[in-house]
């Protein structure tokens, strides 16, 4: 169910940076600066990590973590997913975490018909693309303002105005 969760996956540590323990963080949001206002992140086992600094660096961020002071310490964090408390995350109105959208039911604005279940989100650069599955078929829908009418995370319900032809049966 697409309910708001207390902790959300925010991205992954993809490597080390320099020799003083900084890590390269790949955020799972469209903002490399996403962690900048957050003081504490959590490893999947809920070990808290205190953030010293965040510097956007292209589409990733260079993150310094308190107590991680060598490349060896940083290397231990490679490929770790970082979780944030949702209450700490500054998510603008109309923006969502991908994992909150997954498994939402998707309905047609005009007919009210259930179009399927949101199974994945692809980042294409220009806009995200939502994967909607129904009866073993997958439909790709651009997540753009003219298509996405409403998103109700609490109830796991999304309403879209699909572009012509996307859900037509062949």
Dist CA 60 CA 45 (whole Å): 23
Cβ neighbours, 10 Å, residue 8: 21
| CATH classification of the domain holding 69 | 2.40.30.60
d(CA 125, CA 45) in angstroms, rounded, equals 32
- Does one domain contain both 82 and 102? no
> Of 68 and 125, which is predicted with more confidence?
68
| Tens-digit pLDDT profile for residues 1-28 | 445 578 888 889 999 999 999 999 988 7
Average pLDDT, the chain: 87
The pLDDT value recorded for residue 1 is 41
- Residues 128, 108, single domain; the answer is yes
- Whether pLDDT at 76 is above 50: yes
| pLDDT single digits (tens) 80-105 | 999 988 778 766 666 677 778 888 99
SS3 of residue 18 by DSSP: coil
**Residue 68, in any domain of the structure:** yes
Helix (H) or strand (E) run with residue 21 in it: none
**Residues of the domain holding 59:** 7-86
Is residue 21 located within the same domain as residue 72? yes
Residue 2 domain-assigned (yes or no): no
Task: State how many domains the chain has.
Answer: 2
């Amino acid at each position: 169910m697409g309910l708001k969760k207390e902790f959300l996956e925010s991205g992954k540590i993809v490597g080390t940076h320099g020799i003083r323990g900084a890590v390269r963080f790949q955020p799972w949001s469209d903002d490399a600066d996403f962690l900048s206002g957050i003081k504490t992140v959590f490893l999947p086992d809920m070990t808290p990590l205190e953030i010293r600094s965040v510097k956007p660096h292209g589409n990733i961020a260079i993150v310094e973590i308190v107590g991680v002071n060598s490349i060896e310490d940083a290397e231990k964090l490679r490929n770790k997913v970082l979780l944030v408390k949702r209450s700490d995350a500054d998510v603008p109105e109309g923006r969502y975490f991908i994992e909150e959208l997954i498994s939402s039911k998707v309905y047609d604005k005009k007919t009210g018909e259930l179009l399927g279940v949101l199974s994945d989100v692809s980042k294409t650069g220009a806009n995200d693309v939502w994967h909607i599955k129904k009866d073993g078929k997958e439909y790709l829908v651009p997540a753009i303002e003219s298509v996405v009418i409403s998103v109700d995370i609490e109830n796991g319900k999304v309403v879209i105005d699909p572009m012509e032809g996307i859900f037509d049966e062949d």
